[in-house]
Chain A
Amino acid sequence: MASLITCPHCGVRPREEFSVRGDATPVRPLPNASDEAWHAYVYLRDNPRGQIREHWYHEAGCRRWLVVERNNVTHEVVSVTDAASKTAGGAL
């Protein structure tokens, strides 16, 4: 885990201000996608060693969901972006 996260809106904050939801890579399927796609979305997760992307929630700060790219071996945080921002694939 990281001890400090640089929230794009609030700056450097301690880990205690956040809650971690989990893997940010699964994308919610369309309503009529296959059973397999839905099953994978809800239940299946990879468990890679090294670079991962996670959803973190800045609960005690700006209440924004963030995509944290970090290394789960070295704990280095590579990037933190607002989940809804363009680079994360949404519109802000």
Chain B
Amino acid sequence: MTSFRLTSGGLLDRKRKIRFTFDGKAMTGLEGDTLASALLANGQMLMGRSFKYHRPRGPVTAGSAEPNALVTINTGGRAEPNTRATVAELYEGLSAQSQNRWPSLSFDIGAINGALSPFIGAGFYYKTFMWPKSFWEKVYEPLIRRAAGLGRAAMEADPDTYDKCWAHCDLLVIGAGPTGLMAALTAARAGARVILADEGFQLGGSLLSESLAVGGMAAADFASAVLDELASLPNVTLLSRTTVFGWYDDMVFGAVQKVQKHVARPLPELPVERLWRIIAKRAILASGAEERPLVFGGNDRPGIMTASAVRTHLNRYGVSAGRRVAVFTNGSSGYRTAQDLAARGVEVAAIIDPRAQANDAAPAGVRVVSNAVITDTMGRKGLKGLLLERSGFEEVVECDALAMSGGWSPVIHLACQRGARPVWSDEAQAFLVPDVGSAFRVAGSAAGHPSLSACLRDGAAQAVALARDLGFAAYDADIPEVEGEPDPSFSPVWYVTGAKGKAFVDFQNDVHVGDLGLAEREGFGFTEHAKRYTTAGMATDQGKLSNTNTAGILAGMRGVSQAQIGTPTYRPFYTPVSFGALAGAAIAEGNRPVRRSPLHGWAARHGAVFVETGLWNRPGWFARSGEKSWRESMEREVRAVRENAGLCDVSTLGKIEVFGAQAAEFLDRIYCNSILRLPVGKARYGLMLREDGIVFDDGTISRFGQNHFLLTTTTAYASQVLAHLDYASQVLWPNLDVRLLPTSEQWAQLAIAGPKSRIILQRIVEDDLSDTAFPMMAAREVTLKLGVKARLFRLSFSGELAFELAVPSSLGEAVADALMEAGREDGINPYGLEAMDVLRIEKGHVTHNELDGRTTADDVGLGRLMAMQKPDFIGRRLSTRFGLTAADRLQLVGLKPVEAAKEMKAGAHLLKQGAKPSMINDQGFVSSACYSPTLGHFIALALLKSGRERMGEKIVVWDALRDSEVLAEVCPPVFVDPDKLKQRA
């Protein structure tokens, strides 16, 4: 006895056969099937094994809340584990594998866990796996790791693409069942911009399984008619296969759309999934209600499903769950299922009703057993029969499927995701949405309205209210009649006492009533504790079928109302969302922007090897053929700069233009040094402090006019400095006449450094560049022989005679080429970051290695820049704290290895000679280190306690990471040309 396909009926295209495989076995289904309905049509009720006990399981539902029928779809990089077979759209070539079983679904060794169940009840892992201690890492954890989880993640790269988009609307309707369709239609006809989203591949919700006539036609036809009208309206967006998974602040909703998940070979120009961020002025939650399982002994066997699941498989997919179906129901739902089964010629074994009396009509000739419950079921891999009990009298009923109905739980998740707690309703015997404000309303059965006609009315009414709220002239549409709707009430039964087998509450995590009792006895009965202690509600289905039953059971155990128990906190996402959708296109190279200097192409043509620094790609060095390593290139570049000339791209530094009558005063308050009297045509090195007295960033200030300055910042801090300056000018001193403009992108900037830099530069510049005409720190506009205006600065980071030339960025390459040509005979070399770093370490010029957020100006030897006579500048006050001026602070020094061949690396710590290598004896650390081609040995800059008083001392450079100790001599932090003669040439 198995499930089977009926010869007619269902919303399927019976002419379109679809071939698929399940666990390697070839099967066919029909277009319109889900994987679950197709498997059932092939008599395959067994679809998975439960998490802990590995019990054979079949589907419980026909939709989104499915806890059991979790399979892996596809293979390789496309494999998607834990897919609910009840929502997976069947397509040609689909391959599915069952999970959590070995060696096979029908023979699973894991089932032995069932025999161990007395030892592995709720919370067993808090009481076990503790002894011996050493076994945890080597034995228990690896075993548990292998046993845990259901599906296995794919280990190959995902070949498909994902994207994201934004959308705006007046009204977002979540759910396209009867309520949502009426709501969307009403608002759309009034002219509102409407987005209607539904997780199904066919829109219509419960109307697709409804056997009653709506508006004088078949329910599914009514749905189609409404959808046709909606599709024709330009102000409507219909999103099928789209789950709205989260409600966020400010009426922002997250949704994921399956764009090509139903296609065997996705097109590359489309994503497989799309993440929507929807900004809605108003929203209606029309997500329906979930039928609850009944909790009784043996309620988890394959073939036991909710009554509405049996109806849906019957009416929508033309599949009967079995040949002899029993019904266990506490309300009309089970009776309606029995009616539909009988109408299609399926035998109904009996209707078992715990109520003493019911007004519900059974089909002709079907036995109704009132006042009765089920206490156990039989059959291992498929239901074979049930044991009913009535006033102490037991009876076996043979059946191969059981439709159970425990009442209805409105699907309220989205409305509760922002912290509102659901409210228990005695009338609805369910948790309902509280007031979450007027912009987001709940409608239909999600709001607790039990009947189809009430849903149709409510959807329209809520939409009218919201549309009018937004100024649209909305009117009540004609509400279609529903023919012959029965009384939808039910009498709650939270669990059946006297269960002979395990009575499951949470199917996916194998939590049964006994576990809840244990939690309560051990003091973990509070809803959030019970959840974690038993794991009820923690599986991938997040308790959709179990939360209300759990609350009912705990309430019963304590003798209180469910209102006192509540539910655990609701959080996004409503159903699992793939990482692919969350990442969208921001993966691999798209993960963050890549910024390119205007000289990037030029550098590449000269053999640059690029390195990532922040968002930029910058030349690390320029490789020449024959050079075997980066160090070889770097050494050549450094020698070229010290002996002839080098050319370096410094375009990435931040640049900010400052205008205004009080620009000088403003900058005087920003920098620690004096800016007020900087002459026009001159530049100055400046330090910006944080308000706590620590150095924030360094750069240059150039004055082009009385009220016009140009600032530079380090590359890494360009945007932070701009934010800081904007803050100071808008928040701290809004009365100062100052205007700021970031201009980093406008200019390409080249550093030309070396003894021959002037001669070379003069060849392309009109203006006189002699030492008297263009002295040290001059900053002026010049004219190039190319006929272009440029800015020239006489600054030196390398310590050599040097200039920085700035031209509009589109001219960068032409000017770089001109300089290379002009300097060819003089041996000009392009140089990159490695060489630049060596040159500045040789000169003791600090970078953020030294300005690391812990150092003051004085620490790095720049105390003389602090213009304390200024009444105010940022950082002035706190820089005087004695902690920041104490004598034993880490101070900048230079280090030379005593043995010339030894290496030193940044990050190494410093110890007194003879001290035990330990951080207790820490004297400081190496901030920058490099091999100096100029000197022929390693050099370093370091921050050493009271460093300035320890010149000549021998200390140990202790590199714990690389297990080395090197003796070094403390020296002044400058290794080349200490009197700065070369840059003043």
Expressed in whole angstroms, the Cα–Cα distance for A82 and B734 within the complex equals 11
| Min C-beta distance of B568 to chain A, whole Å | 20
Q: Which chain B residues lie closer than 8 Å to A29 at the CB level?
A: 877
CB-nearest residue of chain A to B250: A4
Q: What is the chain B residue whose CB lies nearest that of A41?
A: B691
Interface centre among B277, B732, B735 (most CB of A within 10 A): B732
Proximity string of chain A (7-29) to chain B, C-beta cutoff 8 Å, 1 when within and 0 when not? 00000101000010100000011
Stretch from B133-141, B298-306, B699-707, B719-727 forming part of the interface with A = B719-727
Query: Quick one: which of B418, B727, B872 contacts A65, CB cutoff 8 A?
Result: B727
Task: Let me know if A21 and B727 touch, CB within 8 A.
Answer: yes
How far, in whole Å, are A56 and B419 apart by their CA atoms in the complex? 25
In the assembly, what is the distance between CA of A84 and CA of B878, in Å?
A: 26
B876 contacts A by Cβ under 8 Å: yes
What 0/1 pattern do residues 700 to 741 of B give for CB contact below 8 A with A?
A: 000000000000000000010011001100111011000000
Cβ of A90 within 8 Å of any chain B Cβ, yes or no, is: yes
Instruction: Flag whether B955 is at the interface (Cβ < 8 A).
Output: no
Contact between A42 and B692, CB atoms less than 8 A apart: yes
Q: Are A31 and B876 in contact (CB under 8 A)?
A: yes
Indicate if the CB atoms of A31 and B730 lie closer than 8 Å.
no
Given contacts A31-B871, A75-B418, A59 and B735 within 8 Å (CB-CB): no
Residues on B with C-beta less than 8 A from A77 are: 250
User: Are A65 and B730 in contact, CB atoms less than 8 angstroms apart?
Assistant: yes
- Residues on B with beta carbons closer than 8 Å to the beta carbon of A63: 722, 726
Residues of A within 8 A of B731 (CB): 55, 65, 83-84, 90
- Find out whether the CB atom of B734 lies under 8 angstroms from the CB atom of A84: yes
Q: Which residues of the other chain, A, contact B734 by a CB distance below 8 angstroms?
A: 83-84, 90-92
Q: How large is the interface on B (under 10, 10 to 19, 20 to 34, 35 or more residues)?
A: 20 to 34
- Assess whether B526 is interfacial by the CB under 8 Å rule: no
A1 within 8 A of B: yes
Asked whether B602 is an interface residue with its Cβ less than 8 Å from the other chain, the reply is: no
For the complex formed, measure the closest distance between the CB of A43 and the CB atoms of chain B, giving whole angstroms.
8
Whether B878 and A38, one on each chain, are in contact in the complex, defined by CB atoms closer than 8 angstroms, is yes
**CB of B279 closer than 8 Å to a CB of A:** yes
Instruction: State in angstroms the CA–CA spacing of A81 and B876 once bound together.
Output: 30
Instruction: Give Cα A28 to B875, complex, Å.
Output: 11
Q: Are A3 and B730 in contact (CB under 8 A)?
A: no
Complex-state Cα separation, A42 to B878, whole angstroms: 9
User: Does the CB pair A2–B249 fall under 8 Å?
Assistant: yes
- Does B877 contact A31, Cβ atoms closer than 8 Å? yes
Query: Chain A, 54-69, contact with B by CB distance < 8 Å: what is the 0/1 string?
Result: 0101010001110000
Q: Hey, which chain B residues are within 8 Å of A12, CB to CB?
A: 279
Residue of A nearest to B870 (CB): A31
Q: What is the bound-complex CA distance between A26 and B644, given in angstroms?
A: 55
B877–A64 contact, CB under 8 A? Answer: no
Among the listed B249, B872, B878, which residue makes an inter-chain contact with A4, where contact means beta carbons less than 8 Å apart? Answer: B249
Within 8 A of B (CB), among A34-92: 38-39, 41-43, 55, 57, 59, 63-65, 74-75, 77, 82-84, 90-92
Residue of B nearest to A43 (CB): B692
B726 contacts A65, C-beta separation under 8 Å: yes
CB distance from A85 to the nearest CB of B (A): 9
On whether the beta carbons of B730 and A1 are closer than 8 Å, the reply is no
How many chain A residues touch B (CB < 8 A): the figure is 31
* Minimum CB distance partner of B742 in chain A: A63
A31 near B418 with CB under 8 A, answer no
Q: Which of B279, B726, B735, B871 has the most CB of A within 10 A?
A: B726
Against A, the Cβ 8 Å flags (1 = close, 0 = not) of B669-705 are 0000000000000000000000110000000000000
The verdict on B496 contacting chain A, using a C-beta distance below 8 Å, is no
**Chain B positions 242-291 with a Cβ under 8 Å from a chain A Cβ:** 248-252, 277, 279
Q: Which of A14, A19, A64, A75 contacts B730 (CB 8 A)?
A: A64
Q: Which residues of A contact B877 (CB under 8 A)?
A: 29, 31, 38
Residue in A3, A19, A39, A75 whose Cβ sees the most chain B Cβ within 10 Å:
A3
User: CB distance B249 to A3 under 8 Å?
Assistant: yes
Hey, which chain A residues are within 8 Å of B248, CB to CB?
A: 3
A4 to B730, CA, bound (A): 23
Q: Are the C-beta atoms of A3 and B691 separated by less than 8 Å?
A: no
Q: Which residues of A contact B871 (CB under 8 A)?
A: 31
A29 to B279, CA, bound (A): 41
> How far apart are the CA atoms of A20 and B715 in the complex, in Å?
22
Q: Given the complex of chains A and B, what is the CA–CA distance between A31 and B403 in angstroms?
A: 79
Closest chain A CB from B9 CB (angstroms): 46
Complex CA gap A24/B193 in Å reads: 38
Q: Which single residue of chain A is at the shortest CB-CB distance from B740? A: A63
Which residues of chain A are near B727, meaning CB under 8 Å?
21, 55, 57, 65
Given contacts A3-B249, A4-B249, A75-B418, whether A90 and B735 have CB atoms under 8 Å apart is: yes
B517 smallest CB distance to A (angstroms): 36
Residue in B250, B719, B726, B878 whose CB lies within 8 Å of A2: B250
On chain A, the residues within 8 Å of B252 by CB distance are 3-4, 14
Residue numbers in A under 8 Å from B878 (CB-CB)? 38-39, 42
Inter-chain contacts of A82 with B (CB < 8 A): 730
Q: How far is the CA of A55 from the CA of B419 in the complex (A)?
A: 25
**Pair B735/A91 contact, Cβ less than 8 Å:** yes
Distance A90 CA – B728 CA, assembled complex (angstroms): 12
CA distance A39 to B249 in the complex (A): 35
Q: Is the CB of B719 within 8 A of A3?
A: no
Closest A-chain residue to B741, C-beta based? A63
Tell me, rounded to whole Å, the shortest Cβ–Cβ distance linking A64 to chain B.
7
Indicate which residue in B419, B692, B726, B732 contacts A57 across the interface (CB closer than 8 Å): B726
Contacting residues, chain A, for B692 (C-beta < 8 A): 42-43
A19 vs B720: C-alpha distance in the bound complex, in angstroms? 11
Q: B249–A59 contact, CB under 8 A?
A: no
List B contacts of A92 (CB < 8 A): 734
Whether the pair A83, B250 counts as a contact (CB closer than 8 A) is: no
Task: List, in ascending order, chain B residues with CB within 8 A of A39's CB.
Answer: 878
Q: Which of B249, B277, B732, B876 contacts A75 (CB 8 A)?
A: B249
The complex places the Cα of A17 from the Cα of B457 at a distance, in Å, of: 41
Please, which residue of chain B has its CB at the minimum distance from the CB of A86?
A: B734
A47 CB, min distance to chain B CBs, angstroms: 19
Contacts of A57 in B (CB 8 A): 723, 726-727
Say which residue of B691, B723, B730 sits within 8 Å of A42 (CB atoms).
B691
- Residue of B at shortest CB range from A64? B730
Query: Which chain B residues lie closer than 8 Å to A91 at the CB level?
Result: 734-735
Residues of chain A within 8 A of B249, CB atoms compared? 1-4, 75
| Contact status A84-B418, CB under 8 Å | no
**In the complex the two chains form, is B735's CB within 8 Å of A83's CB?**
no
A75 — which chain B residues lie within 8 A by C-beta? 249-250, 418
Enumerate chain A residues within 8 angstroms of B277, measured Cβ to Cβ: 14
**A residues near B732, Cβ cutoff 8 Å:** 28
Known: A42-B878, A83-B730, A84-B734. A19 touches B250 (CB 8 A): no
**15 A-B residue pairs with CB within 8 Å:** A1-B249, A3-B248, A4-B249, A4-B251, A12-B279, A14-B277, A29-B877, A57-B726, A59-B723, A64-B726, A64-B730, A65-B726, A82-B730, A90-B734, A91-B734
Extra inter-chain contacts (5) besides given A31-B876, A55-B731, A90-B734, CB under 8 Å: A43-B692, A57-B727, A59-B723, A82-B730, A84-B734
Q: Which 9 A-B pairs have the closest CB atoms?
A: A90-B734, A4-B250, A84-B734, A3-B252, A3-B249, A31-B872, A3-B250, A84-B730, A75-B249
